[in-house]
Amino acid sequence: MSRLLRLSGSWSLSLGLVFGLVFVSQAIAEPTRSPIPAHVTQIEGYPFPGKIAELPRRQRTDYSEAGMGFSVRYEIPGETWADIFIYDPGEDLTSAEPHQAAADQREIALGDIRTAVSTGSYQEAKVIAKAETAPYALAHLTITQKGKTRDSYVFITVSKKNFVKIRYTTTAPDADQMAAKFAMEYARLLSR
């Protein structure tokens, strides 16, 4: 009888280890969100002040997938938010033409938005305009999610051998001016 208990005990332990590893690996794949202490103004060499264009800084998200980097959210809940992503998808940006590299990344971001529509995360996304205006490759879209349509902007540039992508989304009537102000204030911070 004690041998049977030992066998069943080791079997339970083995199953526990297998399922534990499965759950741990799933947890590792999830992004990690964390608050940013008020005194912090730089993260990994990039500027992240307490406010940009009247939007207060909220949280940092670290992405576990290689090359995905991290993001910092600025937000007035329910109204306007901006996520600034710093990432390195493995390209040698020192030899690339930075404006073309940013334009290529903008097209990838627009592809990701199309995927979000096809998977049901968004009901609809329409590209209103695309441009290359120093220092950004940018796009303006309207996105419908949960029955609400918002203006959304993608700004991408290259800084310190990484891509910097701003995704700015708002319901405000002066969306173009607000998004441009946020992007230009961050560009000034990057150039210091």
Q: Could you read off the pLDDT of 50-107 as tens digits, one per residue? A: 999 999 999 999 998 888 999 999 999 989 999 999 999 887 787 778 899 999 999 9
Q: List the structure tokens of 142.
A: 């309207």
Is 23 found in the same domain as 65? Answer: no
Is 3 found in the same domain as 68? Answer: no
Q: How confident is the model over 35-46, as a mean pLDDT?
A: 95
What's the predicted TM-score (pTM) here? 0.83
Phi-psi group of 54: left, alpha or beta (phi > 0 → left; psi -120 to 50 → alpha; rest → beta): left
Is 142 found in the same domain as 63? Answer: yes
Is 115 found in the same domain as 105? Answer: yes
Per-residue confidence (pLDDT) for residue 65, from 0 to 100: 86
Is 26 found in the same domain as 90? Answer: no
Is 92 found in the same domain as 15? Answer: no
- Rounded Cα–Cα distance for residues 31 and 18 (Å): 23
- Rounded Cα–Cα distance for residues 49 and 27 (Å): 30
Is 70 found in the same domain as 10? Answer: no
Is 99 found in the same domain as 135? Answer: yes
Average pLDDT of every residue of the chain: 87
Instruction: Reply yes or no on whether the pLDDT at 38 is more than 80.
Output: yes
Is 150 found in the same domain as 168? Answer: yes
Per-residue confidence (pLDDT) for residue 8, from 0 to 100: 44
Per-residue confidence (pLDDT) for residue 12, from 0 to 100: 44
Q: Which positions ≥6 away from 110 have C-beta within 8 Å?
A: 127, 139, 141, 154
How many domains does the chain fold into?
2
Is 177 found in the same domain as 84? Answer: yes
- Rounded Cα–Cα distance for residues 25 and 16 (Å): 14
Per-residue confidence (pLDDT) for residue 168, from 0 to 100: 98
Is 49 found in the same domain as 95? Answer: yes
Q: Any idea what the CATH number is for the domain that residue 71 is in? A: 3.40.1000
Is 19 found in the same domain as 91? Answer: no
Instruction: Reply yes or no on whether the pLDDT at 6 is more than 50.
Output: no
Q: Which positions ≥6 away from 175 have C-beta within 8 Å?
A: 151, 153
Domain range enclosing 6? 1-30
Residue 102's closest CA among 63, 71, 141, 132? 132
Residue 139's closest CA among 101, 168, 106? 106
